Amino acid sequence: MTAEPLTGRGWTARIDAVSLIIHLTGDWIARLDTGAELGAVDRIVEAIRSDGATIKTIAFDTTALKQWDSAILVFVLALRQAFKGEGQTLDEAGLPPAARRLLALTGEPVSADPIVVRANLLARVGRPLIRLWASGLDVMTLVGETVLRSGAALRGKVRMRGADLLSCMYDAGIGALPIVTIVNVLVGGILAFVGAVQLRKFGADIYIANLVGIAMVREMAALMTAIVMSGRTGGAYAAHIATMQGNEEIDALRAIGVPVYDYLILPRVIALTCMMPLLFLYGSAVGIFGGFTVAVSMLNISPEAFLEQTRASVAGSQILFGLVKSIAFGTLIAIAGCRAGLNAGRSAADVGRAATTAVVIGIVGVIALDAIFAVCANTLDF
């Protein structure tokens, strides 16, 4: 390229050592003759190629630039494409900030070399701990809000629609009866079979009724019902709220002043917390019935003996223990599902991830909480 500057409509290209500086002047407004910008690119490319490998950097000077629109973007993108793989670096730092932001949406600039920042050990350990701490604070905030708003709900001081609460109660109660029935009947029958294998060795077949009754009331009915509800209702809560998040419905509720917690979270938490004890009692009854059916039809135990043995072995305190656990399980599942939905992203894939997260956290949390109950009961000799 010669020392004489190249000029065109609204631009001048000058050499400065091994750099080519393109001065943009006047207005760069898109017109019908938009090919002028592309023609400027052709002239610049031809001049640089004729000069060999002298030019290493192509920069911009926009101090004299006035109004501009997409015409300047077309010009810079054409330069990017023309010098791609040619060895010259396109330095876009001199462009207006707004233009650089728009160009960033189209891809990385040619001059932008990837910067790899290697975090040190403290940063690699600290970031997950900070995220864990923030997640814990979110959970505690949600639990505290649940307690406070539930108390306000009892006094009728929350903006919660009764129709939403009844719909959630129906879905978490009557709607869940078929799957709760199937699971608990099968669990009761399995307990009867397993007990028969061992008790028959000692001639104690009648104690199968004790095993089924105590196991269902104290542990299995509450635990199995909670696991079923984690997969069925907890995942549904997360998917529903995540879908609303993606459709910006939650943002709309906040914009018009509707309290999201009262409108979305509280009805679900109250519904599942109230329905779980009822499902537990129902699950215990059908589980005992499943064990009764197996014992009477296959293990040669009379119906009267099974019922009498069950009545004598199952105490009211054990039923109360199961009720307390079921209430805690229901609250945990509802909070886990709602939190997973609120923390979801805004894409369709995030809905599935939120539902999966809610189910996993619900099941693991229920089992962990059941273990805590077992340790406490053993410590208290209950």
Q: Which helix (H) or strand (E) holds 213?
A: helix 208-215
- pLDDT confidence tier of residue 238, bands split at 50, 70 and 90: very high
Q: Which residues pair with 11 in a beta bridge?
A: 8, 24
Show Cβ contacts of residue 103 under 8 Å, excluding neighbours closer than 6 positions.
73, 76, 77, 92, 95, 109
Q: Which helix (H) or strand (E) holds 178?
A: helix 177-199
Sheet (strand 19-24) strand order: 6-8, 11-16, 19-24, 57-61, 89-90
**Is residue 303 a contact partner of residue 292, using CB atoms and an 8 Å limit?**
yes
Between these two residues, 170 and 33, which has the higher pLDDT value? 170
Q: Which of 23-37, 75-89, 174-188, 264-278 comes out lowest in average pLDDT?
A: 23-37
Asked if the model's pLDDT at residue 354 lies above 70, the reply is yes
Show Cβ contacts of residue 330 under 8 Å, excluding neighbours closer than 6 positions.
226, 229, 272, 273, 274, 275, 276, 277
User: Residue 233 has which token pair?
Assistant: 């209702």
Q: How far apart are CA 160 and CA 266, in angstroms?
A: 8
- A 10 A CB-CB count for 115 gives 5
What is the average per-residue pLDDT within 102-129? 66
* Strand residue runs (E) in the chain: 6-8, 11-16, 19-24, 26-28, 57-61, 65-68, 89-90
Asked if the model's pLDDT at residue 16 lies above 80, the reply is no
pLDDT digits (tens, 9 = 90+) for 286-335: 999 999 999 988 888 888 999 999 999 888 889 999 999 999 999 999 99
Instruction: Quote the DSSP letter at residue 115.
Output: P
What percent of the chain has pLDDT above 90? 33
What is the average per-residue pLDDT within 111-134? 70
- pLDDT confidence tier of residue 113, bands split at 50, 70 and 90: very low
Q: Which of 12-16, 225-229, 251-255, 339-343 comes out lowest in average pLDDT?
A: 12-16
* Strand residue runs (E) in 17-61: 19-24, 26-28, 57-61
Q: Which domains does the chain have, with CATH numbers?
A: 6-104 (3.30.750.24), 159-379 (no CATH)
Instruction: Quote the DSSP letter at residue 176.
Output: G
**Is residue 238 a contact partner of residue 340, using CB atoms and an 8 Å limit?**
yes
pLDDT digits (tens, 9 = 90+) for 68-89: 888 888 888 887 777 776 667 7
pLDDT digits (tens, 9 = 90+) for 155-199: 667 677 778 889 999 999 999 999 999 999 999 999 998 888 888
Q: How far apart are CA 248 and CA 167, in angstroms?
A: 23
What is the average per-residue pLDDT within 22-32? 75
Q: How far apart are CA 48 and CA 74, in angstroms?
A: 20
**Is residue 348 a contact partner of residue 365, using CB atoms and an 8 Å limit?**
no
**Is residue 172 a contact partner of residue 275, using CB atoms and an 8 Å limit?**
yes
- pLDDT confidence tier of residue 264, bands split at 50, 70 and 90: confident
- pLDDT confidence tier of residue 251, bands split at 50, 70 and 90: confident
Q: Which residues pair with 90 in a beta bridge?
A: 58
Q: How far apart are CA 42 and CA 27, in angstroms?
A: 20
